[in-house]
Chain A
Amino acid sequence: MTDFAFVRSEMTAAQPAPNRSSGLVAWLRKNLFASFSDTILTLLGVLFLIWAIPPLYGFLIGRAVPPGGTVEMCRVENVGACWAYIASEIEFFIYGFYPMAEYWRPNVVFALLVLLGAPLLIPKVPFKVINAVVFFVVFPVVAVVLLSGGSFGLREVPTEQWGGLLVTLIISVVGISLSLPLGILLALGRQSKLPIIKSLCIAFIELVRAVPLITVLFMASIMLPLFMPQGMTVDKLVRALVGVTLFSSAYMAEVVRGGMQAIGRGQYEAAQALGLGYWKRTGLIILPQALKHVIPGIVGNFIALLKDTSLVYIVGMKDLLEAVKTKNDAIEWASPTQSVTGYIFAAFIFWVMCFSISRYARYWENRLNTGHKR
């Protein structure tokens, strides 16, 4: 015997979510004012922002002298950043003492770097192999011929005249593209079962990782000429390149080794069972997995290398930092905020490059994250 008092025949309209669990108020409550101590922290944070932002805005934009301004405008009391100084010296910051009539040559190299590099970085663009061959084999030759000249009717420009961002980019691009393969070889050597090769690799890696980059650069710039046969000189830029590349490859080797150690023994054994030889086993089975594991580490090394290129300043190379520092001491733009502005500009350039590399790496990490998600 059933006796229903009430049976609903249609759905009631949905009610809005309670204020406490959704919407702006709830978000604020959860993220900023969850507890008493949280509220105090938030208030301290807000006080910090109030203290920091207006002066920062005033310095960078409000009281700053925009590009195109004059020195006199930068010399007034309580002036902000002197962007006019940056704008008027920008060519020196990019090319250094490279002859002005030949600026088109670095420009072509920059353009080629972007045109050939960008398709390599975007996964969807086809012809990766051809692209890579062109980028890593043809492009360096073209770049060297174009920049140094002396052939094809181009005026010769000795490397002493190169400078600024040009040198920074050359050292980083060469360093990055040479240190990864060298690092992989060193890591393989370190993992090898052949005692002589193994101990040589360990000695090199540990020695280089133990000392600061400056001493490696000093060694490259002072001792490399001593090591060469008489009469043979090594270009200053090449010395710096050798130093930076060797230094970075030791760090790269350790990162790659970490990735190789993370791979289970079963992978090696399965590859052996398939009858693959050492190089096929390494190239087709081990390295693709190992490198995938350690992308963050590899990119971290790339960023470290990019930042470390600024150290070549100490052994007398003319990179971006050196260009900025030289001009900061120049008298034509002498003004109270000249050097602060210069360093902020250089810092911004480095920051943009490093930050975009790390974002790009994050993107690849997500793309390659096949089946390791929990």
Chain B
Amino acid sequence: MASLDGARNEAPRTSLLNDPVIRGIVYQIVVGVLVVGFIVWIVNNTAINLAAQNKTTGFDFLWKTSGFDISFSLFPFDRTSFYWQAFLVGLTNTILVAVIGIFFATLLGFTIGIARLSSNYLISRLATIYVETIRNIPLLLQLFFWYFAVLKAMPAVKDSIALPLDTFINQRGLFVPKPLIDEGFTFVWIALIVALVGWFLLGRWAKARLERTGKRFPVFLAGLFGSALLIAVVWLISGAHLTFEPPVLNRFNFKGGVELPPEFVALAFGLSIYTASFIAETVRGGIQAVSHGQTEAAQALGLKEGDRLRLVVIPQAMRVIIPPLTSQYLNLTKNSSLGAAIGYPELVNVFTGTTLNQTGRAIEVIALTMLVYLTLSLTTSAIMNWYNARVALVER
């Protein structure tokens, strides 16, 4: 409608009722008044309802002792801890399962997405079956399946199923060896950082030389072997020890090792499997979006197979893949809230569940929970917008 602005400088021959600009203002005032009125009505109702139920409002409850236990947390928490600590435990548990889920979903998703494009009939069919099956079954149902039907049906502790690498699985979860490192390891960490920085500098030098003289340097191989050599030498000299403490079956339970509760295993596993099917589709779409002419043009320029992929196809495919991939990561993070249904103590379970029930501060608790997810989403989309602007096609 604003495109008619120019015409308004001429004498308007229409009545005020038909003037699009004035109409627009009227519409907006009407909508604005309705929305404000609606909000006032809701706030008023809520205040009356809360007063009738003798409920207080405010965030002071965060500094009261919680009085409940959380089965799984990264830092100490017990019934004498405060509600804000419960909030933090929920938040860290959400982030923990999201990070692990994202890692495995990416690995599996890229593998299956590429497999779907394979020229091998059997492989591409198997990948298609995976995607079409997993995508069309609700995540909550899959979580129930893994948790109630698979993990809860595992044998009792004394009949644990032994997996390779000293790992055991039973009703109480997954038991994996715990890596133990001594003080000497500080030097190894320093060596690792030095090696990575060196690798990065080597890459810059090689690129500068390539542009100056046209001579290639095998950065990847040199970097890999150089880093490995440096770390190995430092490791040997510093006398650092890396040992694994395997879980050992006692009379009643495993001792030592790391115990991953079944809720965590089921949630991480289910989220990875489910999200991988969507990531696979994203990857497939991204690779197919790069037209075949690009590959042929690269061939005509005389690029080698590896360079063709690395310099021509993958950068263009990534431009298509990355935005939907990030939204899949966000979806995974939001879907981790389904852990509440199988008892994994993440944000929604700890906060919107237990804390809300105990304190009755519905509005504050739900607002805080939504704020967390809102922050996560908005941060991610801000980063995405920055990235999109960076990689966007610059056209004439």
Contact A321/B120 with A200-B35, A210-B378 known, Cβ cut-off 8 Å: no
**How far is the CB of A118 from the nearest CB of chain B, in Å?**
21
Contact A321 B31 (CB under 8 A): no
**How far is the CB of A266 from the nearest CB of chain B, in Å?**
13
Q: Is A301 on the interface with B (CB-CB < 8 A)?
A: no
Q: Which of B165-173, B186-194, B217-225, B361-369 faces chain A? A: B361-369
Q: Is A179 on the interface with B (CB-CB < 8 A)?
A: no
Output the nearest chain B residue to A45 by Cβ-Cβ distance. Answer: B122
Q: Is B391 on the interface with A (CB-CB < 8 A)?
A: no
Q: Is A372 on the interface with B (CB-CB < 8 A)?
A: no
Interface residues of B (CB under 8 A from A): 1-3, 24, 27-28, 31-32, 35, 42, 45-46, 48-50, 52, 118-123, 126, 132-133, 135-142, 144-145, 148-150, 153, 334-335, 337-338, 340-341, 348, 352, 356, 362-363, 366, 369-370, 373-374, 376-378
Beyond A223-B366, A226-B362, 9 extra complex contacts between A and B, CB < 8 Å? A32-B121, A38-B120, A197-B31, A200-B35, A228-B49, A230-B49, A308-B138, A310-B140, A350-B137
Which of A196, A223, A325, A346 counts the most chain B CB atoms within 10 A?
A196
In this complex, the interface size class of chain A, counting residues with CB under 8 Å from chain B, is 35 or more
**How far is the CB of A68 from the nearest CB of chain B, in Å?**
23
Contact A227/B145 with A218-B352, A307-B138, A350-B136 known, Cβ cut-off 8 Å: no
Q: In the complex, which residues of chain B have a beta carbon less than 8 angstroms from the beta carbon of A278?
A: 1
Q: In the complex, which residues of chain B have a beta carbon less than 8 angstroms from the beta carbon of A307?
A: 136-139
Output the nearest chain A residue to B366 by Cβ-Cβ distance. Answer: A219
Contact A230 B141 (CB under 8 A): no
A-B contact pairs, 14 of them (CB 8 A): A32-B122, A41-B123, A42-B120, A196-B31, A212-B334, A228-B49, A310-B141, A311-B138, A313-B341, A321-B141, A339-B148, A343-B141, A354-B135, A355-B132
Contact B338 A226 (CB under 8 A): no
Contact B1 A350 (CB under 8 A): no
Contact A194 B120 (CB under 8 A): no
Q: In the complex, which residues of chain B have a beta carbon less than 8 angstroms from the beta carbon of A226?
A: 45-46, 49-50, 362-363
Contact A222 B366 (CB under 8 A): yes
Which of A194, A195, A206 counts the most chain B CB atoms within 10 A?
A194
Which of B42, B144, B148, B363 counts the most chain A CB atoms within 10 A?
B144
Contact B46 A354 (CB under 8 A): no
Contact B46 A215 (CB under 8 A): no
**How far is the CB of B312 from the nearest CB of chain A, in Å?**
21
Scan residues 257-282 of chain A and give those whose CB is less than 8 A from a CB of chain B. 272, 278
**How far is the CB of A172 from the nearest CB of chain B, in Å?**
11
CA gap between A210 and B382 in the complex, in Å:
13
Q: In the complex, which residues of chain A have a beta carbon less than 8 angstroms from the beta carbon of B42?
A: 227
Secondary structure of the B side of the interface?
Answer: helix
Contact A230 B45 (CB under 8 A): yes
Partner of A350, one of B24, B35, B141: B141
Contact A46 B28 (CB under 8 A): no
Q: In the complex, which residues of chain A have a beta carbon less than 8 angstroms from the beta carbon of B48?
A: 229-230
Q: In the complex, which residues of chain B have a beta carbon less than 8 angstroms from the beta carbon of A228?
A: 45, 49
Q: Is A373 on the interface with B (CB-CB < 8 A)?
A: no
**How far is the CB of B292 from the nearest CB of chain A, in Å?**
12
Contact B144 A321 (CB under 8 A): yes
**How far is the CB of A336 from the nearest CB of chain B, in Å?**
8
Q: In the complex, which residues of chain B have a beta carbon less than 8 angstroms from the beta carbon of A193?
A: 1-2, 24
Contact B366 A215 (CB under 8 A): yes
Output the nearest chain B residue to A223 by Cβ-Cβ distance. Answer: B362
Output the nearest chain B residue to A356 by Cβ-Cβ distance. Answer: B136
Output the nearest chain B residue to A43 by Cβ-Cβ distance. Answer: B122
Q: In the complex, which residues of chain B have a beta carbon less than 8 angstroms from the beta carbon of A355?
A: 132, 136
Contact A346 B149 (CB under 8 A): no
Q: Is A207 on the interface with B (CB-CB < 8 A)?
A: yes
Output the nearest chain A residue to B52 by Cβ-Cβ distance. Answer: A230
Output the nearest chain B residue to A307 by Cβ-Cβ distance. Answer: B138
CA gap between A360 and B361 in the complex, in Å:
46
CA gap between A195 and B27 in the complex, in Å:
11
Q: In the complex, which residues of chain B have a beta carbon less than 8 angstroms from the beta carbon of A194?
A: 24, 27-28
Q: Is A328 on the interface with B (CB-CB < 8 A)?
A: yes
- Report, nearest first, the 6 A-B pairs whose CB atoms are least far apart: A210-B377, A354-B136, A31-B121, A212-B334, A307-B138, A45-B122
CA gap between A207 and B49 in the complex, in Å:
25
Partner of B138, one of A34, A310, A342: A310
Partner of A41, one of B45, B118, B374: B118
